[in-house]
A and B are shown apart, each in its own frame.
Chain A
Amino acid sequence: MSEAELRTAVAGHRWLQSLRLRPDLVTPGLKPEAQLKAEEAALFDTLNLKGAHLLEIGAGNGAFSFAALRRGAARVLATDHLAWTLPGSDALSATQWAAHALGAGIEMSPLDPRELTPRFGSFHVVMATACFDQLFNPIQALRGMRSVTERVLLIETLQDGLADARPLMMGHGQVLPIGGPEGSWVFGWGPNLPLMTQLLTDLGFSRVLYRHHPTLGAARGLYAAFLPEAPDGLLEGFHTPWINVTSPQAA
């Protein structure tokens, strides 16, 4: 791949994420590089990923999978559903170009998280960013993710209904640059913190940690949910502003 070919490929794709492929070449993505970096630090500075097996759901252009590999993960499987499968989508091809340009040996596969079962295998870390935002059925998707998680599930999501103390989620639609040339309208949800805690607890996660989004505040939330099997040491890196929101039910 020549530099000219790479630049042509970057120009020829629609990008969901702004990835720095060369010191002077950043893909023109929907999500800015600074936000991606802030989210990466907020999610991954907490954990030692050396040797870990990580599954990413809704990888988009793979920013977090590339980051996990840089941080020492032994196996990274990047997956996406709509953005990689809608007719006319070029996000998988874009991600393959990015992996090539970065020399990043990640696996890539289209995947609907609703279809995950333990037969798929298991991963120390399962993660999803912009999680509820783009899922018609987050209840089923979370169950799927849980079924392949060995230790910890990391989630970044849109939030809503924050003024209500009751667990709830609000529906949200948005047009994303995926699928046909006009993009696609994608439905998803903004859950509130009580709902996230409840759903994760119901799935058997025994400890749930939370923090606001590093740059966007409470409009988005970050969750780390641990299975009982996760060694206590895994929680050591979760400092302020992470807080323990484990439901009394789970204790």
Chain B
Amino acid sequence: MAKPAALWYLRAMTLPDARISDAELLTRMQSFHWWHSIALRPGLTTLGGKSMEILAQEEDAFLAPFDLTGRSVVDVGAWNGAFSFAAKRRGAARVLATDSYTWNHPVWRGREAFELARAELGLDIEAKMIDPPDITEKLGLFDVVLFLGVFYHLYDPLDVLARMRRITRQLLLVETHQDLTNDARPGMVFYPSDILNQDATNWWGPNPALMLSLLLQLGFTRVFYRDHPTLGRARGVYAAFTPEVEDSLVRGFDSNWLDLDVPGAIEGLLTP
């Protein structure tokens, strides 16, 4: 359930001149636990679990390969919204940020933190409280679907990946924790309780062969892969294209990316 937006926030939205002071903003920033480090004003950056430097490298790896101008984007599992904000700043016509788990979490209070950042940055971004397993085609079709850091948090990622396919018009970007990465055969490891990084919300570690197989079965016709820009093979990034994709979205993927759906590509990822 969506928490009612705080009154100050509604006021800030409706009365753009009701700008709060730096001191007041800092107090509000400090009342949340942040995942993303986001510069809200000069000298005022949220203290996220992910640093600005890492986020900058991720943004560059995930979003720089294609031109977002005029595109529609949905960010599934947006948390504090760093990638939603980045997509908007890179020219996306429409950006929808969705989340549920951290947005409703009593400690993370992610929705309120997201709202603070959105209001402060003044970006025209939509938000919707929805859990990935509840997403259907009713959400709409988006040129680009961002599914970053969510796959491995799902008990049933197979169902949710199929749901992501149904809302993707052109490109689905998946970033995930990986395992069995030196196995050419498709597979995924299950993590009971909190054995992966002492985090009970981590469930599965797939390998590249599996991600390729799943994405192709879901009707994506091309799949590009790259290692995570800072964490290497431990996490992978997949760009999966529908048959309807415009060439301009595919062209910019450079040599950091590997065409995964060609013979020998998976074997090429193995270390002897």
Contacts and interface: CB of A to CB of B under 8 A. Distances in A.
Interface stretch (A53-61, A120-128, A167-175): A167-175
B192 to A, nearest CB: 6
Interface string A141-169: 00000000000000000001100101111
Contacts of A195: 190
Contacts of B186: 170-171
Nearest to A201: B192
B188 interface: yes
Interface centre among B187, B189, B213 (most CB of A within 10 A): B187
Contacts of A173: 213
A169 B158 contact: no
A139 B188 contact: no
Given A168-B180, A170-B185, A171-B213, A137 B190 contact: no
B155 A139 contact: yes
Given A137-B158, A139-B158, A170 B190 contact: no
A134 to B, nearest CB: 13
Q: Is the interface of A mostly helix, strand, loop or mixed?
A: mixed
Contacts of B158: 136-137, 139-140
A106 to B, nearest CB: 30
B155 to A, nearest CB: 7
Interface centre among B156, B159, B185, B192 (most CB of A within 10 A): B192
A168 B188 contact: yes
B86 interface: no
Interface string A184-225: 000100000001001100000000000000000000000000
Interface residues of B, number: 18
Interface string B178-200: 00100001111110100000000
A140 B213 contact: no
A170 B190 CA distance: 11
Contacts of A139: 155-156, 158-159
A166 B204 CA distance: 11
A166 B196 CA distance: 12
A137 B189 contact: no
A167 B192 contact: yes
B203 to A, nearest CB: 10
B160 to A, nearest CB: 10
B137 to A, nearest CB: 17
Given A136-B158, A137-B158, A139-B156, A187 B189 contact: no
Contact of A137 (B156, B185, B192): B156
A122 B214 CA distance: 32
Interface string B158-183: 11001000000000000000001000
14 contacts: A136-B158, A137-B158, A137-B159, A139-B158, A140-B156, A140-B159, A160-B187, A166-B190, A167-B190, A168-B187, A168-B188, A168-B189, A169-B187, A198-B190
Interface of B: 155-156, 158-159, 162, 180, 185-190, 192, 209-210, 213-214, 217
Interface of A: 136-137, 139-140, 160-161, 164, 166-171, 173, 187, 195, 198-199
Given A137-B159, A139-B158, A169-B188, 18 more contacts: A136-B217, A137-B156, A139-B159, A140-B159, A166-B189, A168-B189, A169-B187, A169-B190, A171-B185, A171-B186, A171-B187, A171-B210, A171-B213, A171-B214, A173-B213, A195-B190, A198-B192, A199-B190
Complex A-B, nearest 10 residue pairs according to Cβ-Cβ distance, in ascending order:
A171-B186, A170-B187, A167-B190, A137-B158, A168-B189, A139-B156, A171-B213, A195-B190, A166-B189, A140-B159
